[in-house]
Structure 1
Amino acid sequence: MSRIEVERVDDDAVWQPYEGGSSLGWMGTQGGTIARDEDFQGQLRLTYELDDSRSFHAISCSVTGWLLYHRFFDNAGAAHAAFEEMKRALRELLTQLPEGGASPPGNARLAGPLLAAFTVRYG
């Protein structure tokens, strides 16, 4: 599927449970329990972790070969809203990134401002 086709596909139709949901209930990279973990065509991933004992909620997002980014919240409502909002933003970012990853160096130069804008927007 081309990046143009990806752009036209509805988010809910393509975001799937990561590895069939097998990661749910496990400890995540930020020390919370994974409550949601979704994948978009093996290129994007969003993971939501929580630990109610310390009012901890984290979202980790990744764009394969480009970005690994974490956000932290003190309540579930804000974290869930951000999770949904970031689905569309990550998909849009993917359509703008050069194909082939950060190599050659020219791709990294093209992607730098896009990645920086994403992290500032969701910082």
Structure 2
Amino acid sequence: MHAPPLVEWTPYEAGASLGWAGSQGGTIARDEELAGQLRLTYELDDSRAFHAVTCAVSGWLLHHRFFDNAEAASEAYDAMKPALEELRTRLREGGPGSPEEARRGGPLLAAFLARFP
């Protein structure tokens, strides 16, 4: 039995997004992707104690979380990585291919959102 090949999180667009304004109005400080299917972004704006973590599962989910300090946001960012990796293994790449597939994915997405509100 062979182990699946390891896929690493890599800087999104080779790091070109760092320092730019993010979708939530902060400055992008961390931005990574996994296999072109997952993306995790951390934005901050210290002038207003604003920290946002956004995750995306291609074709399935776009979710924003907000924090008032860098430590909590960084911990959340790191905690979400393995959960997103697990979610990725259970969902069809690129989004649902049928209404039935979308219905099967619903509880998986709901569980993720309940864990990371």
TM-score by length of 1: 0.89
1:83 is matched with: 77
Cα distance, 1:101 vs. partner? 2.1
The ranges of structure 1 where at least 4 consecutive aligned residues each deviate by more than 6 angstroms after the TM superposition are none
C-alpha distance in structure 2 between counterparts of 1:98 and 1:29, whole Å = 26
Percent sequence identity over matched residues?
63
2:18 is matched with: 24
Alignment counterpart, residue 32 of structure 2, candidates 38, 45, 56: 38
Task: Tell me which amino acid in the other structure corresponds to 2:74.
Answer: H
Alignment counterpart, residue 59 of structure 1, candidates 53, 57, 82: 53
Q: Secondary structure at the match of 1:14?
A: coil
Cα distance, 1:103 vs. partner? 2.1
In angstroms, what is the RMSD of aligned CA positions?
Answer: 1.4
C-alpha distance in structure 2 between counterparts of 1:83 and 1:99, whole Å = 22
Cα distance, 1:98 vs. partner? 3.2
C-alpha distance in structure 2 between counterparts of 1:44 and 1:98, whole Å = 12
Contact persistence 1:98–1:110 (CA under 8 A): no
2:62 is matched with: 68
Cα distance, 1:58 vs. partner? 0.2
Higher helix share: 1
Alignment counterpart, residue 119 of structure 1, candidates 108, 113, 116: 113
**Aligned pairs, how many?**
115
Any stretches of 5+ residues in structure 1 without a counterpart?
Answer: none
